[in-house]
Amino acid sequence: MKKTIKALKFSLVLSLIVTFFLACDKDFSVIESNVLGEDNVNFNTDTLSFQIAAYNKKLEALQINGLSSSLLGVYNDPAYGQTVASIVTQVIPTTYPTTFGTNVVIDSVVLTIPYFSRVTGTDANGNPTYTILDSLYGKKPDAAIKPFKLTVYQNNYFLRDFDPSGSLGESQKFYSKADGSINMTDNFALNGTSTINFDEHKGAVVYSRDTITPSSKAIKTTTDQGTETAVTTRSIPALRDKLDTAFWKAAILDQEGLSVISNASNFNNYFRGLYFKAEAVDGDGNMILLNIASTNANITIHYSKDSTVENERTQDSYILRFTGNKLNTFINNYNTAYKTAIETVNTTAGDEKLYLKGAEGSMAVVDLFSGTVDHEGENISALQYFLDTYRIPLGNGVYKTDVFGNYILKRLINDAQLIVYEDESMPTNGVDENDNAYHKFDRIYAYDLENNKQLIDYDYDPTLSSSDPYNSAFFHLGQRKTNDGGISKYKIHLTEHLNNILLRDSTNTKIGLVLSTNVNLVNSAKILNGTGDVTSVPSPSLLTPRGTILYGTNTTVPNNRKMKLKIFFTEPK
């Protein structure tokens, strides 16, 4: 019974807390003791700021297979330069028939890869309308979507499943090589031992369009067109088009009865996949995030064959899905200023500007309690100063504990905020006043660098939402807030992270900051031969081409823009 009452009390308190914070426009307020009247309380509240260092980390050779979705197209960022994203993927049949039938004739071959879209309403006929702007990169307000060129080739490079140089059964990992050090036209990847140039393994052209323009329109499909039994169905927006039938007849249907299409192993060795190569049109374009892992993403060969009924034909289909190995390759033509900035790093005082850029770009490393502090004439580590400030010190790095060995605190942390300012002088290239074209759906994701996982505050966040990634985990990770002066900042709450250090002697791990468009995805992408602080990055940071620029902690940063760790605490009088 007592346990039930406790659970109900906890649920009620949690509900009240959530309601309070929602009413405060998703931001925190600190109630000072004078609200109640200083003489009526036996505790004080106050704030402290601690010394931190934040610096840039250049990213390269990131794992580009095993991603949840794929970027395709061209993105020009006024602050960074151009990124071109292409896709190399296996295609896997849903079945392995030994025969297709008698007198087989292909009617059509259709490529379908859904965009990420959401319903915005209904049209005059009651049909749903959609938008893809959440996952379309580079479109400026009130401007047309700029096209990119797309050529799909048969890929002749074998994307193996297992790493021959790894441990038994270890899956093969492929890594990005997007720096353009070989050339700026071909798509490359690394497999751990060698460099792969997919343009040197191109086969026949399967599909080619000089201009591809992603659209939010629903896909309409009509069966038995021109007859009384015609039926039109609607589906979500997608990259959808017809492919050349002659190629697929020769590649698939003409292999009837042969071992090359009889099982998965033989098929993957025979038909090694497709290479979707994107290119700029007049130096520009747009980039789209494709839901290539969807069960609706496929190539469908529609064909007819003789029926068992004389003089009749039967319709059938052969479906290939993108369920095998998939790689997202990038070509980054970054500007000189950005490349110089991320290669000259100050890990002691931190950097003046922090560059968060996706698609093999860069991230920020935050070292809480960095360096040493002069405290009462003694030079001690910033971490020791933090512990001395909140624990009861006994000297020589020892702190008072209770009979159970728990640390006794003289101050309780109510809230800890990492306050991060965005550079208001960052080039925006004519976007609207809310910076919608480049940053509307961006979030900053903070993670534990040592363990390559989310921070403990993420797990405790009651606002996690699988259905609404943009508003998910806003207690912990915050959202961009822009004031009337055009100054944007984030508040990343680290309360439980710091309490873990104080109460449970948890390691003071460094924190990574990356740009993300979906903070619900927390899986990691490894870095080839990664050493030092950063050995993996959250894979969603690869799946945005965008970037932002933040103010760091260097002494050159104005105090009203410098990144800060601000702690609100309570202590007995």
pLDDT in tens, 354-396: 999 999 999 999 999 998 888 888 899 999 999 999 999 998 8
428 has pLDDT over 60: yes
* Domain membership flag for residue 14: no
Predicted local confidence at residue 436, as pLDDT: 56
* Domain membership flag for residue 2: no
7 has pLDDT over 80: no
Both 298 and 383 in one domain: the answer is no
* Domain membership flag for residue 10: no
CB 401 within 8 A of CB 407: yes
* Domain membership flag for residue 33: no
- How many helices and strands, by DSSP H and E, does the chain display? 9, 38
* Domain membership flag for residue 121: yes
Alpha helices per DSSP H over 322-409? 336-341, 382-390
Cβ neighbors of 276 (< 8 A, separation 6 or more) are: 72, 86, 87, 88, 89, 150, 152
Amino acid at 427: P
* Domain membership flag for residue 8: no
Q: Which of 333, 364, 387 is the last residue of a domain?
A: 333
Both 178 and 326 in one domain: the answer is yes
Both 328 and 218 in one domain: the answer is yes
SS3 571: strand
pLDDT tens digit string along 84-102? 999 999 999 999 988 999 9
CA distance 528 to 547: 22
35 has pLDDT over 60: no
Q: Which position has the token pair 């991230």?
A: 363
Predicted local confidence at residue 134, as pLDDT: 87
Predicted local confidence at residue 42, as pLDDT: 52
The pTM is what? Answer: 0.89
82 has pLDDT over 90: yes
Predicted local confidence at residue 375, as pLDDT: 81
Structural domain that includes position 247: 81-333
* Domain membership flag for residue 71: no
Q: Which residue has the higher pLDDT, 475 or 36?
A: 475
Q: Which residue has the higher pLDDT, 522 or 36?
A: 522
* Count of structural domains, the chain: 2
Both 329 and 340 in one domain: the answer is no
CB 281 within 8 A of CB 84: no
484 has pLDDT over 90: no
Both 283 and 424 in one domain: the answer is no
Both 302 and 358 in one domain: the answer is no
Both 318 and 458 in one domain: the answer is no
Question: Strand order of the sheet with strand 175-177?
Answer: 175-177, 188-190, 195-197
Predicted local confidence at residue 545, as pLDDT: 93
Mean pLDDT, rounded, of the chain: 88
Q: Which of 274, 307, 333 is the last residue of a domain?
A: 333
Both 319 and 354 in one domain: the answer is no
CB 238 within 8 A of CB 112: yes
Cβ neighbors of 186 (< 8 A, separation 6 or more) are: 197, 198, 199, 200, 331
Both 322 and 366 in one domain: the answer is no
CB 406 within 8 A of CB 503: yes
Both 282 and 429 in one domain: the answer is no
Both 287 and 357 in one domain: the answer is no
Give the DSSP letter of residue 103. S
Q: Which of 304, 333, 362 is the last residue of a domain?
A: 333
CB 419 within 8 A of CB 88: no
Both 205 and 295 in one domain: the answer is yes
Q: Which residue has the higher pLDDT, 28 or 140?
A: 140
Q: Average pLDDT for residues 270-282, to the nearest whole number? A: 98
* Domain membership flag for residue 86: yes
